[in-house]
Amino acid sequence: MSPVDTARSTAAAVRAGERSARSVVEAHLGAIGERDGELHAFNLVTADAALAHADEIDAQVAAGHDPGPLAGVPIAVKDNLCTAGVPTTCSSKILDGWRPPYDATVVQRLRAAGAVSVGKTNLDEFAMGSSTENSAFGPTRNPHDTSRVPGGSSGGSAAAVAAGFAPLALGSDTGGSIRQPAAFCGIVGAKPTYGAVSRYGLVAFASSLDQIGPFATDVADAALLLEVISGHDPLDSTSIPKPPLSLSSTLQQGVEGLRVGVVKELLDAEGIHPDVASRTRAALEALEGAGAKIEEVSVPAVIYGLSAYYLIAPAEASSNLARYDGVRYGLRVDAPTTGEMYDRTRTAGFGAEVERRIMLGTYALSAGYYDAYYGKAQKVRTLIIRDFEAAYERCDVLLSPTAPTTAFELGAKADPLAMYLNDVCTIPSNLAGHPAISVPFGSGDDGLPVGVQIMAPAMGEATMFRVAAALEGARA
């Protein structure tokens, strides 16, 4: 791993005129050039645009203006976030050639804060997967061990930060797609409260679960990035009408007196590797050592989370992905009739996992099955929220492993169900709409990073980041 400056120190240096944005961006483009051939974190590196943008930042500084809290900080953007005029592929052939005419709200906010996008990162096609192997453009590899996956679906963003290609990256998290790759790559990744960050310009996978969130090398950088991208957006009806989150100022307040619960059902879940369980217990002890009150709590309904998720997410996806029909943009495979054109285009354009989930979701929503599948899954969702509420009466935050194992080898989980089990600890927060963060906490016997997940109630990010910072401090 190349040691990288934090986004905070870089922005401070650029704002003070001590370092040029161009030199920062050039250094990172250099790192990308050296190693991304091996890792394939990026689908597209926008070097020219990044350098031009860096020059603009430097000109602003020279003119006495402040480019913003992320001045000159390189950032990698997951390739399911719309970037005006720049191809946005979702790592799918179906979006071949499509360039959005607009920027996602988060992309606009990054630019307004002075961050410099260096490119679009690889993902599991349409964010459906946990290894970034389901990309139409080939897998991304884990910078810690290139025989291993970086996790997914935001594997490209996680690998980019872990490899020092950029100090910050944006991902999206529908069932763990930020937190699990953060854990696998040994970095920090957070999924905010549903509605805390605008989804406008995020190509939808499962609309009621999708959230955009930050990757960073440490908790304070992740907090800074989340502050920049959060806050109400009138273009997203599910956006919470509140000002941006305030996290940095309370980050170092410690955990003295905070009540931390470990979720019994997630620590004991099937497939949790002993190394991961022991690192999670070590994290608990570290927090206790820092003054937190520790207890074991039960959130019984989380054991149904995976089942509910794999009905709700595919159902919404089947509808969200219907628009890729070859009529208006992206791939079209011509055929004699409209119906055959749809068939051929979608068959050629979607990979196996996307196809599988579209079929699952279509079935789950079909007349006569709705109540048994989608309807019931929504009830489970309500139960999970209720059980979390009960737990949060006793605890300020909850703790669990982020993923059951450390990063696995490419091709190790060819069985879709084995792959789905990776999300068992992360899915409950998406179903509840709650925030959760993965913080690296040591490594397993295999030498690969282990992540610990801290969960909080809706809009509980400030406390969650405080605990994350304390855990990070205890790690050293």
Partner 1 sequence: MSAAATGLPEGWGMVIGLEVHCELATETKLFCCCPNSFGDQPNANTCPTCLGLPGSLPVLNERAVELAMRVGRALACDVRRSVFARKNYFYPDQPKVYQVSQYDLPTNEHGHLDLPSGLRVGITRAHIEEDTGKLTHVGGGGRIHDASHSLVDYNRAGVPLVEIVSEADMRSSDQAREYVAELRSILLATGVSDAKMEEGSMRVDANVSVHREGEPWGTRCEIKNLNSLRSLGRAIDHEALRQIDLLDAGDTVRQETRHWDEASGRTGTLRVKEDADDYRYFPEPDLVPLEPSAEDIRRIDAALPVLPAARRAALAGAAGAPTIGAVAIAVERDLDTLALEAITAGADPARVLTHVEHNLAVEGAQRVSAAHLAALVQMETRGELTATQAKATLAEVVATGDDPAAIAKAKGYEAMGADALETLVDGVIAAHPGEWEQFRTGDDKAKGKLTGFFMGKVMQASKGQADGKAATALLRAKASA
**Minimum distance between the CB of residue 168 and partner 1, rounded to whole angstroms?**
21
DSSP 433: T
* Sheet with 211-216, edge to edge strand ranges: 42-45, 116-121, 74-78, 168-173, 211-216, 188-191, 436-443, 449-455, 397-401, 259-263, 293-297
Q: Which is nearer to partner 1, 139 or 314 (CB)?
A: 314
Q: Which is nearer to partner 1, 259 or 329 (CB)?
A: 329
The residue ranges that bind partner 1 (CB under 8 A) are 81-82, 88, 90, 95, 98, 100-102, 104, 199-204, 206-208, 234-238, 315-316, 318-319, 322-323, 325, 327-329, 337-339, 342, 362, 365-367, 370, 374
Q: Which is nearer to partner 1, 112 or 322 (CB)?
A: 322
Q: Which is nearer to partner 1, 188 or 212 (CB)?
A: 212
**Minimum distance between the CB of residue 321 and partner 1, rounded to whole angstroms?**
9
Active site (catalytic) residues: 78, 153, 177
DSSP 303: G
Q: Say how far apart CA 279 and CA 299 lie, in whole Å.
A: 21
Q: What is the three-class DSSP state of 184?
A: helix
**Minimum distance between the CB of residue 371 and partner 1, rounded to whole angstroms?**
11
Q: Say how far apart CA 396 and CA 373 lie, in whole Å.
A: 33
DSSP 254: -
**Minimum distance between the CB of residue 427 and partner 1, rounded to whole angstroms?**
16
**Minimum distance between the CB of residue 414 and partner 1, rounded to whole angstroms?**
29
Q: Which is nearer to partner 1, 148 or 381 (CB)?
A: 381
For strands 116-121 and 436-443, give the pairing.
unpaired
**Sole residue written with tokens 């986004």:** 7
Q: State the DSSP string of 385-396.
A: HHHHHHHHHH-S
- Radius of gyration for the alpha carbons in the chain, expressed in angstroms and rounded: 21
169: β partners: 76, 215
Q: Which is nearer to partner 1, 65 or 323 (CB)?
A: 323
**Minimum distance between the CB of residue 92 and partner 1, rounded to whole angstroms?**
10
Q: Say how far apart CA 78 and CA 166 lie, in whole Å.
A: 12
Q: What is the three-class DSSP state of 121?
A: strand
Q: What is the Cβ-side half-sphere exposure of residue 124, based on CA atoms within 13 angstroms?
A: 30
Which backbone phi and psi does 442 adopt, to 5 degrees?
A: 80, -165
